Amino acid sequence: MTVMEQRGVYRPTPPPAWQPRTDAAPLLPDAEPYRVLGTEAVGKADEELLERLYAQLVRGRRYNTQATALTKQGRLAVYPSSTGQEACEVAAALVLQEQDWLFPSYRDTLAAVARGLDPVQALTLLRGDWHTGYDPREYRIAPLCTPLATQLPHAVGLAHAARLKGDDVVALAMVGDGGTSEGDFHEALNFAAVWQAPVVFLVQNNGFAISVPLDKQTAAPTLAHKAVGYGMPGRLVDGNDAAAVHEVLSEAVSRARSGGGPTLVEAVTYRMDAHTNADDATRYRGDAEVEAWRAHDPILLLERELTERGLLDEERMRAVRDDAEAMAADLRQRMNQDPELDPMDLFSHVYAEQTTQLREQAAQLRAELEASEEAGTDGEENAR
Amino acid sequence: MSTVAAERAAKKAAKPATMAQALGRALRDSLAEDPAVHVLGEDVGALGGVFRVTDGLTKEFGEDRCTDTPLAEAGILGTAVGMAMYGLRPVVEMQFDAFAYPAFEQLISHVARMRNRTRGAMPLPITVRVPYGGGIGGVEHHSDSSEAYYMATPGLHVVTPATVADAYGLLRASIASDDPVVFLEPKRLYWSKADWNPDAPQSVEPIGKAVVRRTGRSATLLTYGPSVPVCMEAAEAAVAEGWDLEVVDLRSLVPFDDETVAASVRRTGRAVVVHESGGFGGPGGEIAARVTERCFHHLEAPVLRVAGFDIPYPPPMLERHHLPGVDRILDAVARLQWEADS
């Protein structure tokens, strides 16, 4: 009997019950970026933590200026400076416990250094003597990632694997505002939320993806709002307020650690330098904008707070600056030595066991090197 | 028990099995043996995969070991990278060849080079299963031959079985490998059958070794995966023409077994490379060049290629005109300048 034939007795049936999977309201970010410095909330802040953050900020700024200088001297192929963003870098490193993992992007050298990585090893990629200068498992820092957002699914997979093994491990993955447009950002957040993986995503919204401003990057109210669509909380924080970033990330890390699943944190900050030394920032932004952010410098904000509370005087400031200067001098001195390179390393780590094809090519290079050694050249001829 | 007796017993226990069943058994045995092994992909759970290769694995090992993921190939492979970074051995399924393309960036930028960029500190033992090739009447985007893309990426192993025993043995070896392996499964051989005993050790050559499937004196057919049975058929048909063809199943495109291939071509003096994927920029060009470099003075004729046409994979009703068949292979063999043979 068709519907037409049973018209007399037909009653429309309601569709099967539907309800949203979760209540969206608790996932939504606040309207304003969360701040601690200069607000009443600062009263609750741990003084020792503020002092540690300050020392690391000053050190981080000095690292940025030293690495930028090394670029100008030709010691580094490139350096994407995080000047202005040090609060995010330092807070990301300090909220993690030893067994946790950090997944940095190419701009997050500083986070890796603040986590304890040797400053020279952190620059290997940018100097160009190898792609990664350290054993990721030793520091629990993934290799600095150049393709955008591709490290985010790695963080999810690692956190998921750790949880399957019953280990207490949280992964914190860093990405820029431009990276949030990539497909891997979407897939990583979706997997993390579905698997309830212990991951924290930190978006450093520094205003520009090279030259493209945020309003050409996204139509979302904030980047933190993107979290809601995946079913995870989105948090908005002042990225220049080290105490605020630390607090918000701390909450997210604790939540992940206790089985509460992932969080997306958007830190609103600003990139004071150009994208890299190859970029001319004056082509896409004005001085007034940069100056306005200069007044909101992360070091100034914390310095003001610590001074007002009597936690910082001239003597302590000098001690912090001296420590940063010593780090920079050591970095300069060690970076000004040419690294020792073995060209045969080119074939060492392609496969666990060299293939016949690579063995033949290694033999070819060895012969070329021996020939140039006999000829008294250092192989430069071949390079030309 | 003597070796002969053991072999006889194994043969007795052998029953007809399909390649899909052998692949499933390889996954099952790997999961059972090594708790680090995890299977993940779209539909690998309750459904058992669209080709049923993962049938029953979730039931036997639980959702944590055989996991239905969200539908996102970059996400599947990208999370597998993180899992491998933590010491697991993920086996991911890309449902169809053309569905693997969203995962290309993860494969090329991370999977292939993580060992290299970390100076050997962080190898990624990931197996990427990709059903590939045509001949099953699939609609668009279900029948690509993407092997050349994978071959062109240093850091990856690229293997493809042509027999039921190899399907099992090569997949076990791939999962056990400390390097990432792109495991290409010839879709149209999923239902091919052979007598096979899953409980007896399989005598299969390791990854990187080619195998002579049929010995011959007149010419060598160099082939792999879905084209192996076609070449075997062509070799049988060639007997009527007076040609005694040798068939070499490459099994592994990376690493490539130059030795077995060159030894065969030196014996026969003639070679035809046969594969489904397009000839231009395809695997055949590389193979022909390698053979020519090593065997030039033994060659009686140029190395020929019998490949698919250089067209996007055709619709199902026309694919038989595209795929290299027995006649096209025999035509190529006929072109090997037989008059030069004394």
Query: What would the pLDDT profile of A55-111 be if each residue is shown by its tens digit?
Result: 999 999 999 999 999 999 999 999 999 999 999 999 999 999 999 999 999 999 999
Residue A135 contacts B, CB cutoff 8 Å:
yes
Q: Is A275 a catalytic residue?
A: yes
Contacts of B38 in chain A (CB under 8 A): 164
Residues B182/B128, Cβ–Cβ less than 8 Å: yes
Tell me the per-residue pLDDT of B113-143, one tens digit each, with 9 for 90 and over. Answer: 999 999 999 999 999 999 999 999 999 999 9
**pLDDT of B8 above 90:** no
Say how many CA atoms lie within 13 Å of A129 toward its Cβ.
17
Residue A150 contacts B, CB cutoff 8 Å:
yes
Where helices occur in chain A by DSSP H, the ranges are: 47-72, 86-94, 109-114, 119-122, 124-127, 136-139, 151-164, 183-195, 226-230, 242-257, 287-294, 298-308, 314-335, 356-374, 380-383
- Backbone angles phi and psi of B230, in degrees to 5: -65, -40
Q: How many CB atoms lie within 10 A of CB A210?
A: 14
Q: How far apart are CA A261 and CA A258, in angstroms?
A: 8
- Rounded to 10°, the helix A86-94/A242-257 angle is 30
Q: pTM of the predicted model, to two decimals?
A: 0.95
Residue A152 contacts B, CB cutoff 8 Å:
yes
Tell me the per-residue pLDDT of A129-161, one tens digit each, with 9 for 90 and over. Answer: 999 999 999 999 999 999 999 999 999 999 999
**pLDDT of A15 above 90:** no
Determine the 3-state secondary structure of A77 from DSSP.
coil
Q: A33 pLDDT band (50/70/90 cuts)?
A: very high
Tokens of A183: 């497909």
Tell me the per-residue pLDDT of B268-311, one tens digit each, with 9 for 90 and over. Answer: 999 999 999 999 999 999 999 999 999 999 999 999 999 999 99
DSSP designation for A273: S
Q: What is the pLDDT at residue A76?
A: 94
Q: How many CB atoms lie within 10 A of CB B4?
A: 8
Q: Of A198-207, A280-289, B70-79, B176-185, give the lowest mean pLDDT range.
A: A280-289
Contact across the interface for A153 and B83, Cβ inside 8 Å: no
Section B167-187 average pLDDT: 97
Determine the 3-state secondary structure of B67 from DSSP.
strand
The CA radius of gyration of chain B, in Å to the nearest whole number, is 20
Q: What is the pLDDT at residue A210?
A: 94
Residues 340-359 of A with CB under 8 A from B: 345, 348-352, 355-357
Contact across the interface for B85 and A154, Cβ inside 8 Å: yes
**Residues across chain B:** 342
Instruction: Single out the catalytic residue among A284, A285, A296, A321.
Output: A284
Section A182-206 average pLDDT: 98
Residues B158/B207, Cβ–Cβ less than 8 Å: no
Q: B342 pLDDT band (50/70/90 cuts)?
A: very low
Instruction: Single out the catalytic residue among B110, B142, B157, B322.
Output: B142
* Closest Cβ–Cβ partner in B82, B116, B121 for A156: B82
Tell me the per-residue pLDDT of B189-231, one tens digit each, with 9 for 90 and over. Answer: 999 999 988 877 666 899 999 999 999 999 999 999 999 999 9
Q: What is the pLDDT at residue B5?
A: 76
What DSSP assignment string belongs to B293-342? HHHGGG-SSPPEEEEE-SSSPPPGGGHHHHS--HHHHHHHHHTTTGGG--
- Backbone angles phi and psi of B71, in degrees to 5: -80, 90
Integer distance in angstroms from the first to the last C-alpha of chain A?
84
Q: What is the pLDDT at residue A268?
A: 98
Positive or negative: CA dihedral B18, B20, B23, B29: negative
Query: How many residue pairs from chains A and B have C-beta atoms closer than 8 A?
Result: 139
DSSP designation for A33: -
Residues B225/B48, Cβ–Cβ less than 8 Å: no
Determine the 3-state secondary structure of A73 from DSSP.
coil
The residue among A351, A353, A354 with the most chain B CBs within 10 A of its CB, best to mutate, is A351
Say how many CA atoms lie within 13 Å of B291 toward its Cβ.
31
* Closest Cβ–Cβ partner in B87, B116, B121 for A135: B121
The residue among B86, B92, B260, B261 with the most chain A CBs within 10 A of its CB, best to mutate, is B86
* Closest Cβ–Cβ partner in A136, A160, A165 for B79: A160
Nearest-neighbour CA in chain B from A63: distance (Å): 24
Q: A3 pLDDT band (50/70/90 cuts)?
A: low
Tell me the per-residue pLDDT of B323-335, one tens digit each, with 9 for 90 and over. Answer: 999 999 999 999 9
Residues A45/A36, Cβ–Cβ less than 8 Å: yes
Longest dimension (CA), chain B: 65
Residue A157 contacts B, CB cutoff 8 Å:
yes
Q: Which is nearest to B125 in space by CA: B42, B25, B37, B41?
A: B37
Q: How far apart are CA A242 and CA A296, in angstroms?
A: 12
The residue among B116, B124, B126, B156 with the most chain A CBs within 10 A of its CB, best to mutate, is B116
The CA radius of gyration of chain A, in Å to the nearest whole number, is 25
Q: Is A284 a catalytic residue?
A: yes
Count of helix runs (H) and strand runs (E) in chain B: 13, 14
Q: How far apart are CA A238 and CA A201, in angstroms?
A: 16
**pLDDT of A381 above 80:** no
Count of helix runs (H) and strand runs (E) in chain A: 15, 7
Section A32-56 average pLDDT: 94
Instruction: Give me chain B's average pLDDT, please.
Output: 95
**pLDDT of B261 above 90:** yes
Residues A34/A235, Cβ–Cβ less than 8 Å: yes
* Closest Cβ–Cβ partner in A143, A160, A356 for B258: A356
Tell me the per-residue pLDDT of A307-319, one tens digit each, with 9 for 90 and over. Answer: 998 989 999 999 9
The residue of chain B nearest to residue A193, with distances taken between CA atoms, is B70
| Percent of chain B surpassing pLDDT 70 | 96
Q: A13 pLDDT band (50/70/90 cuts)?
A: confident
Longest dimension (CA), chain A: 102
Q: Which amino acid is at A370?
A: E
Q: How far apart are CA A221 and CA B138, in angstroms?
A: 43
Q: What is the pLDDT at residue A215?
A: 96
The residue among B118, B158, B290 with the most chain A CBs within 10 A of its CB, best to mutate, is B118
Tokens of B181: 């392996």
ipTM for the complex shown: 0.94
Nearest-neighbour CA in chain B from A132: distance (Å): 5
Q: A227 pLDDT band (50/70/90 cuts)?
A: very high
Contacts of B64 in chain A (CB under 8 A): 164
Contact across the interface for B69 and A348, Cβ inside 8 Å: no
Buried b (16+ CB within 10 A) or exposed e, B251-290: bbbbbbbbebbbbbbeebbbbbbbbbbbbeebbbbbbbeb
Residues A214/A207, Cβ–Cβ less than 8 Å: yes
Q: Of A13-27, B67-81, B286-300, give the lowest mean pLDDT range.
A: A13-27
Contact across the interface for B256 and A357, Cβ inside 8 Å: yes
Q: A11 pLDDT band (50/70/90 cuts)?
A: confident
The residue of chain A nearest to residue B37, with distances taken between CA atoms, is A161
The alpha carbon of B265 is separated from its chain's Cα centroid by a whole number of angstroms, namely: 22
Contact across the interface for B74 and A184, Cβ inside 8 Å: yes
Q: What is the pLDDT at residue B11?
A: 74
What strand order describes the sheet that includes A199-205? A101-103, A171-176, A199-205, A263-268, A234-238
Q: Of A2-11, A355-364, B156-165, B224-233, give the lowest mean pLDDT range.
A: A2-11
Q: B340 pLDDT band (50/70/90 cuts)?
A: very low
Q: How far apart are CA A166 and CA A185, in angstroms?
A: 26
Contact across the interface for A147 and B70, Cβ inside 8 Å: no
**pLDDT of A384 above 50:** no
For residue B6, the surrounding DSSP H or E stretch is helix B3-13
